[in-house]
Amino acid sequence: MEEKKTTTRAAERALDILLCFVEKPELAMREIVEKTELSKSTVFRLLATLEAKGFVKRDPDTEKYSLGFRIWELANHINRSDDPAILFLPEMERLRDDIDETVSLYVRDGLERVRIQAVESQQAIRRVAPIGARLPLSVGASSKVIVAYTEGDLLGRVLSDPMWPSGIDRDLYIKQLQEIRTQEYAISMEEREAGTAAVSVAIHSRAGNLIAALVLSGPISRMNEEQMIQYVPRLVKAAKEMGKLV
């Protein structure tokens, strides 16, 4: 699509290696070679660089790599309020007040999504949304948003996950992802839970990275497809506002 090449390959690759640890906390060099599709020598050298700077460490027994103390050090210097869960809360509340359905925020963790923030509708019948809940990436509107906008071979790994539900058609799933990328929202009707519908959009940073999936969910009695589509512009607006904060 866009062709901007003001980036440095070697650095880019080193950062990619760091991001591998989001999938799995401990990695052998071989696994990193597979994930990044770089040559053994390159990964070896970049890992040596990262290790020398303390960004990764290596267990001398298992010889596996994991994130090093520098990450911990940097994390201490990142503003607590940079946590999307805190940063996005006011905008989520505004959205909930406008529509009065439950609003959730999901980020990916490996092959799952985690609800890191939620504000519930104030109606008697409402979707309850405990923070911290973990759900698979195979079903649900926000799952598809996350997979649709994540670069790399996440899709392949989700599809080949042994936990993939036998009731779900892989080809349909792939087709839905395409649709999501063009229409920029995802809808699910009673996909994971009977009686529940949801509509989700992606939150991107200014640089274009996927930060999280924003979801509006409620009972199908109030949320038919037509209704949900009418909510989309409001959702998109909220996601844009949130993106600006990151």
Residue 12 amino acid letter: E
Q: Among residues 9, 77, 80, 206, which is the contact residue for DNA, using CB under 7 A?
A: 9
Place of tokens 């998109």: 236
Burial class of residue 202 (count of CB atoms within 10 Å of its CB; 0-12, 13-18, 19+): buried
Residue 3 binds to DNA (criterion: CB under 7 A): no
Residues 18-47 that bind DNA (CB under 7 A): 28-30, 33, 38-42, 44-46
Torsion sign (Cα): 88, 90, 96, 99? negative
Compute the least distance from the CB of residue 53 to DNA, in Å.
14
Q: How are the residues of the chain apportioned to helix, strand and coil, as percentages rounded to the nearest 5?
A: 45, 20, 35
First to last CA, the chain: 23
Residues 73-132 that bind a copy of itself (CB under 8 A): 73-79, 82-84, 107, 109
Binding range to a copy of itself, per CB under 8 A, among 43-51, 129-137, 220-228, 231-239: 43-51
Residue 12 binds to a copy of itself (criterion: CB under 8 A): yes
Compute the least distance from the CB of residue 72 to DNA, in Å.
23
The binding track of 51-90 with respect to DNA, each residue x by CB under 7 A or -, is: ------------x---------------------------
Helices (H) and strands (E) in the chain, counts: 10, 8
